[in-house]
């Protein structure tokens, strides 16, 4: 058996930009985004997959960046809060969060937005109960969640209206 390799070359797309780096095998995706690329919008709240602050999109699916190795993102298309903000893809959601004060300290917010954006795209007709269930993997200690649910609900209704 060959000796274990410590680092690997990866090529991926982050927020539409091609990126190639040599990464350590042990580095998780969020550390890679934050430390290698300076994309500090993804946060580390627990580093064991419970809080959702590191939620990003990989190939269109939301994942917890702390539970995925950077190496596993080789060849993938990664989208972070920075990319989703700059493209305007979630501008309606961000506006709804802002108007309803659906954030206080903001540490959970990028993860919340990335998680909510998936619901907006796939099930804009979601009920309040379904919104609460969908957002159940993202911890917010500040708001009490109601304003987040309100904001996601409002953005869902608006998307559904636009689709109709």
Q: Does 132 interact with other proteins (rule: CB under 8 A)?
A: yes
CA 34 remoteness from chain centre: 13
Q: How many helices (H) and strands (E) does the chain have?
A: 6, 5
Least separation in angstroms between residue 164's CB and other proteins is 27
Distance between CA atoms of 131 and 97, rounded to whole angstroms? 14
Q: Does 80 interact with other proteins (rule: CB under 8 A)?
A: yes
Both tokens assigned to 23: 């990464």
Q: Does 127 interact with other proteins (rule: CB under 8 A)?
A: no
Q: Does 44 interact with other proteins (rule: CB under 8 A)?
A: yes
Q: Does 72 interact with other proteins (rule: CB under 8 A)?
A: no
Compose the 7-36 pattern: x for residues touching other proteins by CB under 8 A, - for all others: -----------------x-xx------x--
Task: Please report which residue ranges of the chain form alpha helices under DSSP H.
Answer: 29-31, 81-86, 91-99, 109-122, 128-134, 146-163
Using the contact rule CB under 8 A, the part of the chain among 67-75, 118-126, 138-146, 154-162 near other proteins is 138-146
**Residues near 78 by beta carbon (within 8 Å), at least 6 away in sequence:** 12, 13, 14, 15, 29, 33, 56, 57, 58
Distance between CA atoms of 25 and 68, rounded to whole angstroms? 11
Site for other proteins in 85-124 (CB under 8 A): 85, 94, 97-101, 103-110, 113
Per rule CB under 8 A, count of chain residues that contact other proteins: 54
- Which residue's CB is nearer to other proteins, number 7 or number 75? 7
CA 140 remoteness from chain centre: 14
- Which residue's CB is nearer to other proteins, number 24 or number 75? 24
Contact positions vs other proteins (CB under 8 A): 24, 26-27, 34, 39-48, 50-51, 53, 80-82, 85, 94, 97-101, 103-110, 113, 131-133, 135-149
């Amino acid at each position: 058996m060959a000796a274990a390799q410590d680092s690997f070359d990866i090529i991926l797309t982050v927020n539409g930009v091609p990126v190639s780096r040599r990464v350590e095998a042990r580095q998780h995706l969020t550390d890679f985004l934050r430390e290698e690329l300076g994309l500090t919008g993804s946060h580390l709240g627990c580093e064991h997959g419970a809080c959702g602050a590191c939620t990003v999109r990989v190939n269109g699916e939301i994942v917890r960046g702390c539970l995925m190795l950077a190496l596993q993102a080789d060849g993938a298309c990664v989208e972070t809060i920075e990319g989703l903000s700059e493209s305007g893809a979630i501008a309606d959601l961000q506006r709804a969060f802002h108007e309803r004060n659906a954030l206080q300290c903001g540490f959970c917010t990028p993860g919340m937005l990335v998680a909510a954006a998936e619901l907006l795209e796939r099930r804009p007709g979601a009920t309040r109960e379904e919104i609460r269930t969908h957002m159940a993997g993202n911890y917010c200690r500040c708001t009490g969640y109601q304003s987040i649910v309100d904001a996601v609900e409002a953005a869902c209704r608006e998307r559904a209206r636009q689709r109709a």
